[in-house]
Amino acid sequence: MTVNVDPRWLFVKTCQDLLGKSKSPDYYEKLRMAGLVRHLIVGPRSLLSMVNRESELPLEFWFREPGEDATAWQGPMGFDASRRELASGVVQRTGREAFLASRVVHCHQWLSVEQLLTTVAHAYGGFLSDVPHGLSREAIVAVDVAIQEGGAGPISIALQEITGVVLRALIPLANPSGEPKPRVRPEPTAAAAAAPGCPFSGKLPT
């Protein structure tokens, strides 16, 4: 079978997969969101880089970054600035790189969005070669301890908040007329049309 997958189709399908996981109460799904978010937005070979070449369409990541004082931090709830949560921090509307570098969770030290995604992928996603940069051994151990807390712990909440920010930022890249069709034979019906509203198959959870 000849397969020629359109990156835009894969981009939309990955967003749909991420949206589905964000609605699930299963902790496994929450941890797996880290890998999907990394695939979407981290690095020069991310799906975002392949679909939005040379930043043709400016994207806005809307989040609430906590201050540097960890003693005043109450947890990652409210990092997604579109959510009606009472949370401390400064609301930011930035591009991808500033979003990836922003503080999101504190485990012995502040972790940026990218550091958290990389740490989860390194420890539990099978990406052993992807070592998080800038984290002390104590911080990595603290992240692991936080992961063991399960779905009610700060890591699960942070991944949920990050996912909300990412999905909203990527909506402008979706084809408003429906999901792009993949160039895959002999299964031309592999892609279903996107549901009305959110281009990633339904309204985003609030």
pLDDT at 133: 73
DSSP H or E stretch at residue 65: strand 61-65
Q: Render pLDDT for 39-65 as a digit per residue (tens, 0 to 9).
A: 999 988 899 999 887 667 889 999 999
Q: CA–CA separation, 82 vs 112, rounded Å?
A: 19
Q: CA–CA separation, 76 vs 94, rounded Å?
A: 18
pLDDT at 2: 52
Q: Render pLDDT for 14-26 as a digit per residue (tens, 0 to 9).
A: 999 999 999 999 9
Q: CA–CA separation, 122 vs 160, rounded Å?
A: 18
Predicted TM-score (pTM) above 0.75:
yes
The more confident residue out of 89 and 184 is 89
Q: Could you say which DSSP state residue 53 is in?
A: G
The mean predicted confidence, pLDDT, of the chain is 80
CA angle 170, 18, 197 (to 5 degrees): 55
pLDDT at 206: 44
Sign of CA dihedral 72, 76, 77, 81: positive
The more confident residue out of 194 and 96 is 96
